[in-house]
Amino acid sequence: MNNCTVQPALHVRGDISVPGDKSISHRAVMLGALGKGVTVVRGFLRGEDTFSTLNAFRTMGVGAREDAGALFIDGKGMNGLEEPSDVLDCGNSGTSMRLMTGLLAGQKFFSVLTGDRYLRNRPMGRVIEPLGRMGAKIWGRCGGAKAPLAVQGTPLKGTSYASPVASAQVKSALLLAGLFAEGDTVVTEPSLSRDHSERMLRYFGADVEQLSSGARIRGGGSLEAREVLVPGDISSAAFFIVAALVVPGSELLIRGVGTNPTRTGIIDIMLQMGASLELSNEREVCGEPVADILVRSSRLKGIEIGGELVPRAIDEFPAICIAAACAEGKTILRDAKELRVKETDRIAAMAANLSKAGITVIETEDGLEITGSERLSACSVDSFGDHRIAMSMMVAGLVSDSGIQVSDIGCIETSFPGFAELLEKVACR
Ligand code: S3P
């Protein structure tokens, strides 16, 4: 259990970049493993979550080596994965578990997936149920609702599935199963979740069509090895965006951030709150939009957030809660019930932590109401084993009266190695 106390800062200043996008890094390993030839991944996130995916593919006979800052994956082709001789450990990573369950459902072998105590408590029925419609044979604890999961690979048939949740993990699990299925697989969702799978599948040569709310894939194709340049993760940049907005006199340039429109809810929400954010050097890299983001401290005001903005900022709400706690007036978040089934219940966790910092917070079934304040009180809070809760409360420390102590911050290694050091580097005292 390691703890960390973040002291108040006078300003946040610097010119930084953040580690590679987690979602894109996972997908690069998965598609690289299935491609024909050697896939080179530059900017791969060296976090515990993405190493869980990489290690799982190594257990299935995929060669991978890091050299001169790049990851080289020896693709095995569509039928080249080997039956894993051990359980595949997904650690804390929902993306590893849900996407691999889809991918493994259509293989010619048996596999078992497990994870840490947080992941073993997260809902898996949302992928197992629709995969079952394709003919998949998957078993899990609690009647198939929870991991460990056992997957007996079997021939699959394409399906048309209207997902009740806007979830890229559900959509991607079905698309990866659809790659191995007979015929077409179509997934639609209530509003569009991140579309990295669709973009990368197309980049690797799959027959994928993007729909206004979902995607279609044709089964039976093959993938070609590619070079993937992974942009900075906007979900990691979010903590620095909020830090620079709420600490007075700040100016921070964050270079090379992925700005896929299915992920830029944080930018839209901050702009609505009155943020000074400028995007420059906008370009496209390997099918993904990328930009530099200049952030200047701003007087934020409370707003109402709901609807299609929620999936576009789904991982950023812990950071957005800190912006709301520093804004003038009340911020109301609704339609965000999904936050209750993330790495922890993020609605309950942020309500508990902000209350300790002296903020008036009301927890609702599907969101939060946060009344902003001039300054946060010194306090000790818990990460609840969730990397994004830990990082958001460390950012809160920068605007506290005399520091915030966050316990159990080891979880930050899942997505952002070096976070504490980078935060200290940009914080002027
Ligand atoms: C992810 C999708 C999101 C997100 C998670 C990563 C992905 O989950 O919260 O951190 O890489 O597909 P859901 O799709 O379940 O909302």
- Which tens digits make up the pLDDT trace of 39-72? 999 999 999 999 999 999 999 999 999 999 999 9
Place of tokens 């300790």: 356
- Do 250 and 157 reside in the same domain of the chain? no
The answer on 375 and 238 residing in a single domain is: yes
Same-domain pairing of 253 and 264? yes
Based on the domain organization, do 41 and 53 belong to the same domain? Answer: yes
Q: Are strands 208-211 and 214-218 parallel, antiparallel or unpaired?
A: antiparallel
Same domain for 272 and 349, yes or no, is: yes
pLDDT averaged over the chain?
98
Of 141, 134, 137, nearest to 151 by C-alpha is 137
315 is catalytic: yes
Indicate which residue of 21, 315, 382, 386 is catalytic.
Answer: 315
Q: Is 193 in the pocket of ligand 1 (CB under 6 A)?
A: yes
Q: What is the pLDDT of residue 45?
A: 98
Same domain flag for 200 and 275: no
Specify the residue for token string 């991607």.
Answer: 172
Same domain, 341 and 206: no
Q: Best substitution site from 194, 288, 320, 346 to test ligand 1's pocket, by max atoms within 8 Å of Cβ? A: 194
Comparing CA positions, the residue from 36, 34, 43 lying closest to residue 228 is 43
Atom number, ligand 1, closest to the C-alpha of residue 23: 11
How many structural domains does the chain have? Answer: 2
**Whether residue 14 is found in the same domain as residue 106:** no
Q: What is the rounded distance in angstroms from the CA atom of residue 128 to the CA atom of residue 140? A: 9
Q: Which pLDDT band, with edges at 50, 70 and 90, does 200 fall under?
A: very high
For a mutational test of ligand 1's pocket, the pick from 22, 23, 98, 345, i.e. the residue with the most ligand atoms closer than 8 A to its C-beta, is 23
CA 143–ligand 1 middle distance (angstroms) = 23
Task: Tell me which of 165, 197, 229 is where a domain ends.
Answer: 229
Q: How confident is the model at residue 352 (pLDDT cuts 50, 70, 90)?
A: very high
Q: Tell me: pLDDT of 132 over 80.
A: yes
pLDDT band, very low/low/confident/very high, at 257 (cuts 50, 70, 90): very high
Structure tokens at 234: 């906007």
* Residue numbers of the domain that contains 168: 22-229
Which residue, of 229, 263, 281, is where some domain finishes?
A: 229
Query: Does ligand 1 come within 6 angstroms of the Cβ of 169?
Result: yes
Q: Are residues 392 and 406 in the same domain?
A: yes
Average pLDDT score over residue span 198-210: 98
**What integer pLDDT is reported at residue 344 of this predicted model?**
98
On whether the CB atoms of residues 19 and 25 are closer than 8 A, the answer is no
**Looking at the whole model, is its pTM more than 0.85?**
yes
**pLDDT digit string, tens, across residues 389-409:** 999 999 999 999 999 999 999
Reported as a pLDDT band with limits 50, 70 and 90, residue 103 is: very high
CATH number of domain containing 220 = 3.65.10.10
pLDDT class of 225 with cuts at 50, 70, 90: very high
| 379 Cα: distance to centroid of ligand 1 (angstroms) | 30
**Residue 65 in tokens:** 């080596």
Q: What is the mean pLDDT of residues 160-165?
A: 98
Ligand 1 neighbourhood includes 93 CB (under 6 angstroms)? no
Distance, in Å, from the CA atom of 415 to the CA atom of 212, rounded to the nearest integer, reads 29
For the chain, what percent of residues have pLDDT higher than 90? 99
Mean pLDDT confidence for 257-267: 98
**CA 310 to CA 8: how far, in whole Å?**
30
Cβ(336) – ligand 1 distance below 6 Å: no
How far is ligand 1, taken at its centre, from the CA of residue 281, in Å?
27
**Is it the case that residue 415 has pLDDT exceeding 70?**
yes
Q: Is the pLDDT of residue 1 over 80?
A: no
- The verdict on 217 and 269 lying in the same domain is no
Question: Among residues 201, 229, 257, which one ends one of the domains?
Answer: 229
Say yes or no: 357 and 401 in one domain.
yes
Residue 284 has pLDDT above 80, yes or no: yes
Residue from 213, 310, 314, 317 whose mutation best tests the ligand 1 pocket (most atoms within 8 A of CB): 314
Ligand 1 close to Cβ of residue 168 (< 6 A) = yes
Cβ of 314 below 6 Å from ligand 1: yes
User: Ligand 1 within 6 A of 353 CB?
Assistant: no
Does 197 contact ligand 1 (Cβ within 6 A)?
no
Rounded Cα distance between 42 and 69, Å, is 7
* Residues contacting 43, CB < 8 A, separation 6+: 20, 229, 230, 231, 232
Rounded to the nearest angstrom, the distance between the alpha carbon of 166 and the centre of ligand 1 is 10
- Rg of the chain (C-alpha set): 21
84/153 same-domain check: yes
